[in-house]
Amino acid sequence: MDILKIEHLSKIYGKGDTEVRALDDVSFTVPKGQFVAIIGPSGSGKSTLLHILGGVDTPTDGHVYVDGTDITTLDETALAIFRRRQIGLIYQFYNLIPILTVEENMTLPLLLDDKKVDRAHFDSLVQVLGLQHRLGHLPSELSGGRALMNNPAILLADEPTGNLDSKNSKEIVELLRQFNKALNQTVIIITHDERIALDADRMIAVEDGKIVKDEVIRQ
Ligand code: ADP
């Protein structure tokens, strides 16, 4: 089953002389459970793509189906709900709220959504993440827990290795891989680092807003 289907996606910023075609007719599908790395030089359109997939930006043209729903047709309210329920967005792992404990951070999206916390699911997630002894701690230690608690259709990670040393970045990618394997969690990670891309199931290379390479590395 394809958890994500992107059809003829384009994004143009500005008009006339200052027009920038950040995405130019991009199409691809991602099956559920795939670990995808999107790679490309600075300015190639990676962040634009990630923001559109995450429902924080809208395309100029094209469609994005997440788990069967075309998110490009949603209004602001529906899009906000979609973001909260279907997307786990990890921006360089900074999206944890520092004054809340790890447990509070993980359950916050559910509480905002007026949902009861499913304890069994929470506990199994905590096990998978190895966070049993850290729930009461502040998230000064890295954790992608909050992004995962909602069972997101897609976990999006933006340059998770951007400003970490290589040992830390390896650990984070391994953690993402663990979520991916244990929960069949679809992961899309944007990276400059070709070594990370080669550890993914699939590598999509973007240049000038176009896909220039799309390679399955492992099934
Ligand atoms: P990457 O993430 O690969 O570095 P971006 O998606 O950030 O690339 O940018 C793609 C292109 O779109 C670049 O030329 C960038 O300058 C341009 N761009 C991105 N965001 C905006 C914006 N808000 N307004 C105008 N141009 C933008």
Q: How confident is the model at residue 143 (pLDDT cuts 50, 70, 90)?
A: very low
pTM of the model: 0.78
Write out pLDDT tens, residues 196-205: 888 899 999 9
CA 146 to ligand 1 centroid distance, Å = 27
Q: What angle do CA 132, 137, 140 make, to 5 degrees?
A: 115
Q: How confident is the model at residue 92 (pLDDT cuts 50, 70, 90)?
A: very low
Which of ligand 1's atoms lies nearest the C-alpha of 47?
A: 2
Ligand 1 binding pocket mutation candidate from 10, 12, 48 (most atoms within 8 A of CB): 48
Phi, psi of 87, rounded to the nearest 5 degrees: -125, 130
Q: Which stretches within the chain are classed as H helix?
A: 46-53, 76-86, 102-112, 119-129, 145-148, 166-183, 194-199
DSSP three-state, residue 203: strand
Which of ligand 1's atoms lies nearest the C-alpha of 190?
A: 2
